[in-house]
């Protein structure tokens, strides 16, 4: 068994990478719904859900509670950043959740394939 040590640098690195990943998928979702949008606006969306995820998992909160909180904050950040009606924001948030799940699944499967390469 591999013993892993949690350090402040590893927590910060995980949070930053997750925030960047969520910002990227937020831009894809917003562009899918709104058309041509400023990619800098998506940078406002990613960090808070990432922090909620990392802190919620650190305190071992139930996954359903973490997911609900992250989705609510995600929608709020879309509303604040893009200034769209709530119905449009709900659509963007749903598409963001789907795009994030699909892309994360692909990345996880690619990493499993690469880890199982012979030699």
- Sign of torsion, CA 105 73 93 79? negative
In a domain, 81, yes or no: yes
In a domain, 1, yes or no: no
In a domain, 52, yes or no: yes
In a domain, 17, yes or no: yes
Q: Please state whether 30 falls in left (phi above 0), alpha (psi between -120 and 50) or beta.
A: alpha
CB 75 within 8 A of CB 90: yes
Max CA separation in the chain (angstroms)? 54
In a domain, 94, yes or no: yes
Distance (Å, whole) CA 14 – CA 40: 21
pTM of the complete model beyond 0.85:
yes
At 47 the three-state DSSP class reads helix
In a domain, 80, yes or no: yes
Provide the number of structural domains found in the chain: 1
In a domain, 2, yes or no: no
Distance (Å, whole) CA 37 – CA 7: 37
pLDDT in tens, the chain (119 residues): 566 788 999 999 999 999 999 999 999 999 999 999 999 999 999 999 999 999 999 999 999 999 999 999 999 999 999 999 999 999 999 999 999 999 999 999 999 999 998 87
In a domain, 3, yes or no: no
Distance (Å, whole) CA 44 – CA 4: 31
| Domain ranges, residue 28 | 8-115
């Amino acid at each position: 068994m591999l013993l892993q040590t949690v350090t402040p640098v590893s927590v910060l690195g995980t949070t930053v990478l997750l925030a960047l990943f969520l910002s990227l998928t937020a831009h894809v979702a917003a562009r899918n719904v709104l058309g041509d949008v400023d990619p800098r606006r998506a940078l406002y969306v990613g960090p808070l859900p990432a922090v909620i995820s990392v802190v919620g998992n650190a305190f071992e909160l139930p996954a359903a509670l973490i997911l609900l909180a992250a989705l609510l904050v995600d929608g709020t950040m879309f509303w604040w950043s893009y200034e769209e009606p709530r119905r449009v924001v709900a659509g963007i948030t749903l598409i963001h959740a789907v795009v994030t799940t699909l892309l994360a699944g692909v990345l996880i499967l690619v990493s499993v394939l690469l880890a199982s390469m012979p030699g």
